[in-house]
Structure 1
Amino acid sequence: FLQRRPSYTVLPTPTPADVTSEYDFYFTDSPTQESLAVVDACLHGGYDVPRAKLIFDRLRVQKRGDASLDSRLYDAMLNAYLLRAEVEENARETWVSDFWHLFDVLESGEEKVQPTQRTYAL
């Protein structure tokens, strides 16, 4: 064991932040993963839907068409909007408006995310 020569693994240098790779479809960057984790934590039990909405909207603008923004995330946001509309009577109109706006975005196909059966079940 001690007489063996150590083996090395040569890793390629990281690409600059403004360069995209063909593998970005499968492996998102760390800031996107962190943002998705925060959105998931905020949506858990309706804990902090306004914060989740802010992060989600920012991701939609920055990562338009990104594979990490899939229909499950959109459905979770739609569901959260409806839950907030039930809880917050004074802001019900705003949450319902946000729900329909996001639903219309899904229906139009402008963000490369297609509605699913769960979307229509909401």
Structure 2
Amino acid sequence: ELDSYLAGLASGLVIHPASTLGFELFAAGKKVLFGATADSALIQQWGIQHYFDALPDLVKLKTPTSDAFIKRCDQIRAMPDNQYREITQTAASTVVSMPNNGHPHETVKQLIYSLLA
């Protein structure tokens, strides 16, 4: 079902490692904190570094400590929605959307070529 989407859309802050649902909710303008960024080796192993490179630091957990986690959660939750969207809007549309020119498989092919080069 769509229970995860409904819960995410109703939430004031979505916390996740690096799920596609988290990226979708980020693109929908929800306040999101990406936790996998606390371990840069992890996102490199998963092969998703390029997605995180497009994100503002605000939504990335950089230090794997409870203090850093709490501080970042508080910072995002306290931020006015319009200010959050202003900071994240460009990244949200870049990470999830496809360019209007060309086909998706060509974009994927170029990404693969750039990663192998």
TM-score in same-fold range (> 0.5)? no
- Flag the structure with more relative contact order, 1 or 2, with Cα contacts below 8 A and sequence separation at least 6: 2
Instruction: Return the TM-score normalized by structure 2.
Output: 0.31
More helix by share: 2
Q: TM-score normalised to the size of structure 1?
A: 0.30
Choose between structure 1 and 2: higher strand proportion: 2
Q: Which has the larger radius of gyration?
A: 1
